[in-house]
């Protein structure tokens, strides 16, 4: 048994980040400034997109993108029930109605047929979630959006590196929203980014992200001299800081190296779990790149005769931290009341929600850590047989 606890989603912070943060703190400019500008530019160039706008979270990136699309009261925005609450909260904050649809059981991404069935003349935007880093079927989504005159705004919180037919997800649709939360493929501690082909959206998003001011603080107070500003809209405080960007710049430089390490761990898990009563993630679809953000298995609870929560707590006892992605949105009472959704409406989401378990999966894991996870999972899941069912 391990002596230390293996925290789920622990970020890999190296000496470079510490040095860069220190340099930023000593520089006299710690708010939104030159490092944010550089991070935006390097992220933009990594994706190969015309514009990138840094924000203080993936959630604010989603909110701003929906506002740029003009989404508001009377509109509908389609997304899935199998996502983090931030996706649907961003829609609610615009005053529009979230329309939830089910996912495909294998890919865990939006089911294009269900999406088609949910689109109406009020559909202003489609918000596909590229779950765990697996790209959604962008051909189908873009076709349906075109047919209905709707915008496509990607929830790409998990999908920085993801590609659909040779094109990064961040280059498809009208905007993509990324998260740099601590557990994500790269982190800024808290932070996010919008990528968009629309120059006007990028300009306006920057203004909305900083109170609606015509000039940002760097321009107002930098060594160019003080500049007066004007408020053009009642904006938000959604800007990233230079301290966060300092971390992000170092992390972005290692993104492909880390992707290769995650690929290795993924393969090792797949091989080690092949004979267990659980379902490993569906294989990468040909012609796509899976960003491999989460390694989620579906515990075969019918075969092992115990719940996912019990498996999770047994792993915890063995000092292995895990995650649940996600409790289905319609299992939260708030959304049941707010959106009128209920159990039985999204069978695939429900199937996944009862069985899903995300294992430790990050470039921070040593080979030994990976071995510990495998040993613990084999012990907890592998030794359970139907006759051992819980009372």
Ligand X SMILES: Cc1ncc(COP(=O)(O)O)c(C=O)c1O
Output Rg (C-alpha) for the chain, integer angstroms: 22
Nearer to ligand X, 179 or 322 (CB): 179
Distance CA 44, CA 39 (A): 8
Pair of tokens at residue 4: 């230390």
Known catalytic residue at 184: yes
Nearer to ligand X, 83 or 322 (CB): 83
* Cβ–Cβ < 8 Å for 262, 363: yes
What DSSP string describes 194-230?
EEES-HHHHHHHHHHHBTTBSS-HHHHHSTT------
Q: How far is CA 238 from CA 60, 63, 78, 92, 224, in A?
A: 6, 10, 24, 17, 24
Q: How far is the CB of 182 from ligand X (least distance, A)?
A: 9
Query: Of 369, 351, 349, 367, whose CA–CA distance to 359 is shortest?
Result: 369
Which parts of this chain interact with ligand X (CB under 6 A)? 57-59, 83-84, 86-87, 129, 155, 157-158, 179, 181, 192
Q: How far is the CB of 181 from ligand X (least distance, A)?
A: 4
Nearer to ligand X, 158 or 355 (CB): 158
Q: How far is CA 191 from CA 39, 59, 211, 276, in A?
A: 11, 9, 17, 38
Distance CA 134, CA 130 (A): 5
Nearer to ligand X, 136 or 381 (CB): 136
Distance CA 168, CA 174 (A): 13
Nearer to ligand X, 194 or 276 (CB): 194
Q: How far is the CB of 134 from ligand X (least distance, A)?
A: 12
Go through the chain and tell me how many residues it has. Answer: 391
Q: Which among 97, 116, 165, 184 is annotated as catalytic? A: 184
Q: Which residues are catalytic?
A: 184
């Amino acid at each position: 048994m391990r002596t230390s606890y293996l925290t789920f989603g622990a970020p890999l912070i190296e000496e470079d980040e510490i040095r860069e943060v220190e340099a930023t703190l000593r520089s006299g400019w710690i708010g939104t400034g030159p490092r944010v500008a550089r991070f935006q530019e390097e992220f933009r160039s990594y994706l190969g997109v015309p514009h990138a706008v840094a924000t203080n979270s993936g959630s604010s990136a989603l909110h701003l993108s929906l506002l740029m699309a003009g989404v508001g009261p009377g509109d509908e925005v389609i997304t899935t029930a199998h996502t983090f609450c931030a996706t649907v909260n961003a829609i609610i904050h615009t005053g529009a109605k979230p329309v939830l649809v089910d996912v495909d059981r294998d890919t865990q991404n939006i089911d294009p047929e269900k999406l088609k069935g949910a689109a109406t003349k009020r559909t202003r935007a489609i918000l596909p979630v590229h779950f765990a880093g697996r790209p959604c079927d962008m051909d189908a989504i873009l076709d349906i959006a075109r047919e209905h005159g709707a915008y496509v705004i990607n929830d790409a919180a998990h999908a920085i590196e993801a590609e659909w037919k040779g094109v990064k997800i961040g280059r498809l649709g009208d905007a993509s929203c990324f998260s740099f939360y601590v557990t994500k493929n790269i982190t800024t501690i808290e932070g996010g980014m919008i990528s968009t082909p629309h120059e006007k959206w990028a300009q306006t998003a920057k203004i909305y992200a900083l109170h609606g001011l015509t000039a940002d603080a760097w321009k107002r107070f930098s060594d160019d001299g003080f500049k007066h500003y004007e408020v053009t809209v009642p904006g938000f405080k959604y800007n990233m800081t230079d301290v966060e960007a300092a971390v992000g710049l170092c992390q972005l430089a290692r993104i492909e190296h880390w992707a290769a390490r995650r690929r290795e761990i993924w393969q090792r898990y797949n091989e080690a779990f092949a004979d267990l009563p659980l379902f490993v993630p569906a294989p990468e679809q040909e012609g796509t790149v899976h960003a491999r953000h989460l390694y989620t298995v579906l515990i075969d609870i019918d075969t092992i005769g115990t719940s996912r929560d019990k498996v999770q707590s047994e792993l915890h006892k063995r000092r292995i931290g895990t995650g649940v992605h996600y409790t289905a949105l319609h299992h939260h009472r708030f959304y049941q009341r707010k959106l009128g959704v209920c159990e039985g409406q999204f069978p695939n989401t429900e199937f996944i929600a009862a069985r899903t378990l995300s294992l430790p999966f990050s470039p921070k894991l040593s080979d030994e850590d990976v071995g510990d996870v495998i040993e613990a999972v084999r012990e907890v899941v592998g030794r359970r047989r139907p006759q051992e069912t819980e009372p």
